[in-house]
Amino acid sequence: MSIAIVLFALLVTAWFLAMIESWTATGRLHPAAPLLSGLAHLGRESVVPRTPDRVFFETAPVLLLVAAMLGAAVLPLAPNLIIADLATGALFFNAALAYVLVALIMGGWGPNGAYAMVGGWRFLGQLIAYAMLIVMPITAVAMRAESLVNTAIVGSQESLWNIVYQPLGFVLFYIAAMALAFRPPFDLPTAEGELAGGVDAEYTGVRLAVLRLARLLLVVTLASATTVFYLGGWHGPLLPPWAWSLIKTLAVAVSMLLVGHYLPRIREADLLGWCWKLGIPLALLNIFIVGLLILVVP
Amino acid sequence: MYIQAFFVAVFGLAAIGFGVVVFRTSSMVRSALALLFSQTAVGCMFLAMQSEFLGVLQIMMMATEMSIMAIFMVMFMMDPGGLGGMDMSHQKRFSLGAGGIAAATAIAVALLSDWGPVTAEAPDAAMQTRELGFEMLGRSMLIFETAAVTILTAMIAATATAIPAREPANHDHKETSR
């Protein structure tokens, strides 16, 4: 039952997000827009480029979708509303989302197109920049909870959310999550106007529909992770726990869309430089501060 | 017990299957990603053997490591797409012999070793993680620290090697241009 509810919640959140995205792009709020757009994709011809690496080309969109959903499977909506409450939940979340990179490399290499390939390898370069900024803030979160179990991590924030306890970790994780979701200003692998869509460029029809759905679910999963790790998860007054989780997830996801809407695309070299020279020392400082707080404050 | 053994066997066969693909393809990216999925199958074997932390860690680490290896193979190999018909195999007889001996040794070790009594129940996953943490920060710390420092040294050395040398040729050029 939990599986059905969590999957339904994921889809509803993704639908809401697609509606907001369409609103920011067209200026018109149309609740049926995501559905109509999806149906239009299904109706279009799904073109296969000349001499593709067929296995990679077909696998990439599905792998991206599966990675996003596996990441969401270990994030709790409420104390008992989680698909798999693993003992290594926080680590599993990283493991699942590591395959986003694999999917993008496959999607870049598979179609045998220059723009797509540049996009795929760019994402690898991007990963080298942000990967540590996903893992190191989660380490500090797990330190406070003294557990890798995601429900325990939410439980550790009952009195004080991690966004207050470790604000530096939150900022780093939020930025890295946007880079992992390759949303603007970190949309280097797709880079419309520069790479003509990059990894998306050669996909059409059903395959593009799956790819777009996967990207939306990825944003929802990362927003949900931000909620679980930093915004107290299901904790909140009056409303039922699942409602708080959904509200916070939606708020984070919409904030990611808005931030991307107003910022210009970052250069690869700048992203690498800032993440390595500034981000990683700050993430280490965050771990040190959290360690001190754990030792000093009872 | 039998279900576990079944899944261990299935993932083991998948690991071997993807391992074979590594050598059967000429595309560097296919080869690297086949190796990735072979290692992922090994991670799944850990999971089937109730070794959750090691399994998840293996599945996570291999995704990034093999992807980075893929780009290095594309950068350095002459025929990264495998479309030029380049034959990468060499010393075939020696390789076959060495592979056969290694496989026979591994099978002999597996069959002839005294593995001790079969543990009826593994400790729960959270306890395994805890015990692994104590092991790594206790008895095995020296080994891990040595490995870490070695890898760091290799990274620094590789980066230093990759930095282009200052060009003395420029001086010659200037002198001749004068």
Q: Where are the domains of chain A?
A: 2-296
Residue of chain A minimizing CA distance to B72? A121
Highest mean pLDDT pick, B18-32, B61-75, B138-152: B138-152
Chain A hits for B68, CB-CB cut-off 8 Å, are: 124, 128
Contact A105 B125 (CB under 8 A): no
Contact A98 B64 (CB under 8 A): yes
Torsion of CA A114, A115, A119, A125, to 10 degrees: 50
d(CA A209, nearest CA chain B) in Å: 25
Those residues whose C-beta lies under 8 Å from the C-beta of residue A29, and which sit 6 or more positions away, are A19, A23
**Is A124 in CB contact (< 8 Å) with chain B?**
yes
Residue from the list A53, A88, A124 with its beta carbon closest to the beta carbon of B52: A88
Chain A hits for B124, CB-CB cut-off 8 Å, are: 87
Task: Tell me: pLDDT of A71 over 70.
Answer: yes
Strands (E), A136-195: none
pTM higher than 0.80: yes
Which of A130, A105, A87 shows the shortest CA–CA distance to B128? Answer: A87
Contacts across the A-B interface (CB distance below 8 Å): 62
Those residues whose C-beta lies under 8 Å from the C-beta of residue A291, and which sit 6 or more positions away, are A143
Reported confidence tier of residue B178, pLDDT bands at 50, 70, 90: very low
Contact B53 A88 (CB under 8 A): yes
Chain A hits for B54, CB-CB cut-off 8 Å, are: none
What is the structure's pLDDT at B172?
54
Chain B hits for A92, CB-CB cut-off 8 Å, are: 56
Residue from the list B30, B60, B71 with its beta carbon closest to the beta carbon of A95: B60
| Mean pLDDT to the nearest integer, B53-74 | 90
H or E element that contains A55: helix A54-73
d(CA A13, nearest CA chain B) in Å: 27
Residue of chain A minimizing CA distance to B27? A53
Chain A hits for B129, CB-CB cut-off 8 Å, are: 87-88, 148
Question: Do A61 and A108 meet the contact criterion of CB atoms below 8 Å apart?
Answer: no
Q: From CA B83, how far away is CA B77, in angstroms rounded? A: 12
| Mean pLDDT to the nearest integer, A256-284 | 90
What is residue B104's DSSP assignment? H
Residue whose token pair is 């559905």:
A35
d(CA B102, nearest CA chain A) in Å: 31
d(CA B53, nearest CA chain A) in Å: 6
What is the structure's pLDDT at A24?
79
Domain extents in chain B = 1-80, 123-162
Q: What is the pLDDT of residues A114-153, one digit of tens each?
A: 899 898 998 998 888 898 999 999 999 999 999 999 999 9
| Mean pLDDT to the nearest integer, A257-273 | 88
Chain A hits for B53, CB-CB cut-off 8 Å, are: 87-88, 91
